[in-house]
Amino acid sequence: MKSKLLLIVLMLFTSFAFSQNFDVNGTVLEASTGLSLPGVNVKVKNSSQGTSTDFDGSFKLLGIPKGTTLVFSFIGFKTQEVVVSGTKITVRLGDDAKSLDEVVVIGYGTQKKREVTGAVSTLDSKTLDILKPARIEQALQGTMSGVNVTTQSGAPGAPLDIRIRGIATNGENRPTTIIDGYVGDLNLINPSDIETLTVLKDAQAAIYGTIGANGIILVTTKTGKKNSKTKFSFNTYTGFQETSRTLPTLNATEYALLLNESYANGGKALPYPNVSGLGKGTNWQDEVFGTGVPIINYDLSVSGGSDKVTYAISGSHLDQEGIVGGDKSGFLRNTARISLGADLTDKLKLKTNVIYTYFTRNTLNENGLGSVLFNALNVPSTLSPYDQNGNFTLVPSTTGLGTEIINPLAQIANTYNDYNYKKINGNFGLDYKLFKGFVLSSAIGFNTSNSESKTFAQQISYGGKVFDVQRSSVTQGAVNDNNYSFDLFGTYTAKIAENHNIVGTLGTTIFKEWGNGLFATGYDVPNNSWQFADISLTKGISEALSNSAYVYDQRRLSYFGRLQYDYKGKYLLSAMIRRDSSTKFGPGNKVGYFPSFTGGWVVSDEGFFGESKTINFLKLRASYGTLGNDQIPNYGYLGLLTGEATYVFDGTLVNGTATGQVPNPDLKWEEAKKFDVGLDLRLFNDKVSIVTDYFIDTRSDLLIQNIPVSGINGTGAPGASSPTLNAGSVRNSGVEFAIDYKERFSDNFTMSVGYNVTFLKNEVLEVNNGTGFIESGAFGVGQPAPARMEIGKPMGYFYGYKTDGIFQNQTEVDAHPSQIALGANAAPGDIRYVDNNGDGVLDAKDRTNIGDPIPNATMGFNMQLNYKNLDFAVYTFASVGNDMVRNYERTLSDANRLNYVLDRWTGEGSTNTTPRVTTGATANNVFSDYFVEDASYFRIQNIQLGYSLNSQVAQKAGMTKVRFYTGVNNLYTFTKYKGFDPGASNGNPIGGGIDYGFYPVPRTYLLGLNINF
């Protein structure tokens, strides 16, 4: 009996040992990089019990028996099974490149990456975390092939221009941004709120019809994960900024000596008989550029979810002062966002995302004649910033210094303006599973914004300059902009006979945009002070029109359809069409149709391909389609009273209105025909990824504004303008190539390297305005426009005189055609111009193509290294073949100069590149290739070094992740260009490459902290 009882006890203990349950805590990491993976599905095999990893890749399962098998699965990674042997588990998931099940957003739906047949590039939140851009557009530069970003200014909050596969039109070239399904503004989003950025570059964007010609940027914001506890993430960085470049101007002694030589060569008395004691004088750039200029950013997010509900809430604060003028060119941005998802029933799902943005911005006069930096470069270094009384020094109004060069410090001090902007935007959507395979989706997207502006012109004298203000005034404005969209579409997914897969999408979109603006000016501000600068306090009366207003309302009705088919996942076809009807065009041209076709062949899935150890995945794809562009001002087909006019009634002058833009009732869509062939390739156990494309984008019926017409229409009157016409055609063609390499050398060391390059050729095919060309831009004062759009040439090419060195003696002058038609007879030491047409006369007919602002190639090289708890990243960008016009130097005799003039011509044989200096008349300043420079450059955009605390140490402090990092943005630019920024542009397709003194992009040193808890 005792033996039986002992046996029973032993069996019970044995049973208890084998049935021991415990809580399992684990972490899931990406095998290639060692980074945590949120959202991984963790399930107990052959059971309904499971969970998913949280923001830090962590998970917890309760009461798991020892020996249980856990299954880890995540889109884009190989599914892995792990047997529970303890309370802690670390799992590393490897890329499943063969399945390529990673989901890509393609517009009104998603598609597995392996099935994508269009030219698509993506950028994820991991890259954004490294780059830390103040504005999200900055992260696109160098990280995506075919995408080029240029700065209009380095000032905080200044706009950036995105160009996808080149400049295709003289009108609006910006791509359309779609945020979670609705049209939005990319520049207003907090970068930390973005999960992925997807760029549609080819005919696949035709699903968006008339807004897709310039490309589509699809933004997916972060959402909560199901079955995850509430997680907090706090990120901050602080740093200081400085100018990334200063230009080598002449110091006081060099300036005085050069000016003496110039006056002597002109037969005038020396302005500085005694140069001793002048020293280096004032470096005006040092005076206007700040050092240690602060920038600070905070953002906090909260996310989580249950079986039915997910949520993500975030807020951010960015405060950045300018490297010129400090808070006089500052930018402050606050954002708040909430994202909710709910499974209302098994068939009905709700999703919503709302973003609030508030920012303020102050600006200085920049990028033009008389700008702050223009003055800093041209004011003589012999002048001091302040006079003996402590007042700002007045720049003399002599002939040699003109009337537009003033003390830049006084200009900054006397600049008063303020701009604030408030916007709320978002969407509300429902997905209803009507029956198996069919989902009906609806969404309302909205944008509503209000902005207020104020500019104060203080009564002041700069000593007889054009900037003198005789009467103080304040100008205030209020703008209200709104739009909403309603999308309703159904998606049907079916599998036929196991091998045939079909996805059909059919829907409609209603879009309405409306708003108004009101502007007014009041005179005689009390106390001549910014403190009292408000129209309500002004009592002055002006004889000129001092207020204006506008109102607009436009609508678009669209229908679209798309059919996607694949056979065994090997043969891929897609066809789509969109019909748009818009109020921007007249009755006969309201409707446009935009069809496209894409196809792909996964060669590596063919039986004859076999199991190659070298090539793991190979897909060929092609696309062709038509897209539209309607980004022009409203009512171009109507004649409206929007101009200013003065009438005489009963002998009295009365202010009134007149016709504005000359109407064009025949306006129609700008049309883009896009062709693309591409290849996607994975090699060497998926360590190497290659994507390459050849594309042709032909744009016709260009919507070109302000085409000159007959002068009898009065288009020179205030508020009036020439009409918008469909008057041109442009073709962009090129090749994109991107290669990425990932290697895991050990559990402690991983590396990722990427390189992309885009080769581009731009050619104008047609200009139908009566002259065959359109010119724009400015050079110097009173000279013809230096940039053109003309048949057979690149968009915005530079049109001027070619040079052939310097005349060394009078014999060479006599043997050359006279240059008097260019402004003056030549003399030894002057620039020799080329008689381009060979008619023996040098005149305007000899002008020709002397430069191209469009780069031949752009490229990016990026590298990331991870060693134990250390991480390092570097991102670079290069532009090759782009030219830029040097137009920031005033040609007045007494203006300061860059030090390259020290190598001027001083006698026969001294130089053949830089002309003599003289106060006498010359033709040396006419627009020629002497002022056109190669602006190719290589820029180290970002370097970052980070350290993450050991997870066990962090958890003791109640945190799941603690990471410190330091980095530098815009570290250095290698270039031969003399100006501030070889990568800048003023945004104009014709004349964008003319440098009036671009505000340089700052170099920023950062210290940051990431905490998850």
The 10s digit of each residue's pLDDT in 615-637 is: 999 999 999 999 998 888 777 77
Task: Assign 11 a pLDDT band (cuts: 50, 70, 90).
Answer: very low
Q: Return the pLDDT at 257.
A: 96
d(Cα 324, Cα 160) in Å, to the nearest integer?
18
Gap between the Cα atoms of 78 and 98, Å rounded: 9
pLDDT higher at 810 or 612: 810
Q: Is 399's pLDDT higher than 80?
A: no
pLDDT of residue 737: 97
Interval 316-352: pLDDT, tens = 999 999 999 988 999 999 999 999 999 999 999 999 9
Residues of the chain above pLDDT 90, percent: 65
- Band the pLDDT of 686: cuts 50, 70, 90: confident
| Predicted pLDDT at 560 | 96
Query: Kind of pairing, strands 571-582 and 309-322?
Result: unpaired
Alpha carbon separation from 764 to 168, 712, 798 (Å, rounded): 9, 30, 14
Q: Which residue has the higher pLDDT, 64 or 652?
A: 64
> Which of 281, 282, 320 lies closest to 298 in space, CA to CA?
320
pLDDT of 711 > 80? The answer is no
Average pLDDT, the chain: 89
pLDDT attached to residue 588 = 84
Give the list of residues 6+ apart from residue 882 with CB closer than 8 angstroms, or none: 852, 853, 854, 855, 856, 935, 936, 982, 993
Rounded Cα–Cα distance for residues 640 and 642 (Å): 6
| Residue-level pLDDT at 20 | 66
Give the lowest-confidence range in 428-437, 516-525, 633-642. Answer: 633-642
pLDDT above 90 for 369:
no
For the cut 60, the answer to whether the pLDDT of residue 434 exceeds it is yes
Structure tokens at 911: 């130089």
Task: Identify the pLDDT of residue 98.
Answer: 45
Q: Which residue has the tokens 């731009």?
A: 762
- pLDDT given at position 84: 87
What size, in residues, is the chain? 1013
pLDDT at residue 232 above 50?
A: yes
CB contact burial 362-395 (16+ within 10 A = b; e otherwise) = bbbbbbebbbbbbbbbbbbbbbeeeeeeeebbbb
Backbone angles phi, psi at 372, to 5 degrees: -60, -45
What number is the average pLDDT over the span 136-148? 90
Residue 757: name the closest of 935, 879, 842, 850 by CA: 879
Residue 767 CA, distance from chain mean position: 28
Q: Is the per-residue pLDDT at 17 higher than 50?
A: no
Lowest mean pLDDT of 135-139, 298-302, 737-741, name the range: 135-139
| Residue-level pLDDT at 716 | 60
Helix (H) / strand (E) element for 260: namely helix 252-265
The DSSP code sequence of 942-961 is EEEEEEE--HHHHHHTT-SE
Q: ∠ CA 528-533-534 to the nearest 5 degrees?
A: 140
Do 342 and 244 meet the contact criterion of CB atoms below 8 Å apart?
A: no
Considering only CA atoms, which of 356, 404, 339, 244 is closest in space to residue 968? Answer: 244
Question: Residue 36 pairs with which residues in a beta bridge?
Answer: 29
Q: What is the pLDDT of residue 710?
A: 58
Give the Å distances, CA to CA, from 698 to 123, 167, 795: 27, 11, 13
Q: Could you report the per-residue pLDDT of 751-809, keeping only the tens digit for each?
A: 999 999 999 999 999 998 888 899 999 998 889 999 999 999 999 999 999 999 999 99
DSSP E strands, 186-345: 194-200, 216-221, 228-243, 293-305, 309-322, 326-343
pLDDT value, residue 771 = 85
- Give the torsion through C-alpha atoms of 435, 437, 440, 443, to 10 deg: 140
- In this predicted model, what pLDDT tens digit does every residue of 828-881 receive, in sequence order? 999 999 999 999 999 999 999 999 999 999 999 999 999 999 999 999 999 999
Look at residues 980, 960, 984 and name the one whose alpha carbon lies nearest to residue 53. 960
> What is the chain's alpha carbon radius of gyration, rounded to the nearest angstrom?
33
* Residue 714 pLDDT greater than 70, yes or no: no
Least confident of 73-77, 165-169, 516-520: 73-77
The type of residue at 864 is Q
Predicted confidence (pLDDT) at residue 646 exceeds the cutoff of 90: no
Spatial distance between the Cα atoms of 191 and 335, rounded to a whole number of angstroms: 11
Cα(142)–Cα(159) distance, integer angstroms: 18
Of the pLDDT bands very low, low, confident and very high (cuts 50, 70, 90), residue 221 is very high
Average pLDDT rounded to a whole number, residues 975-980: 95
CA angle 735, 741, 744 (to 5 degrees): 170
pTM listed for this prediction: 0.87
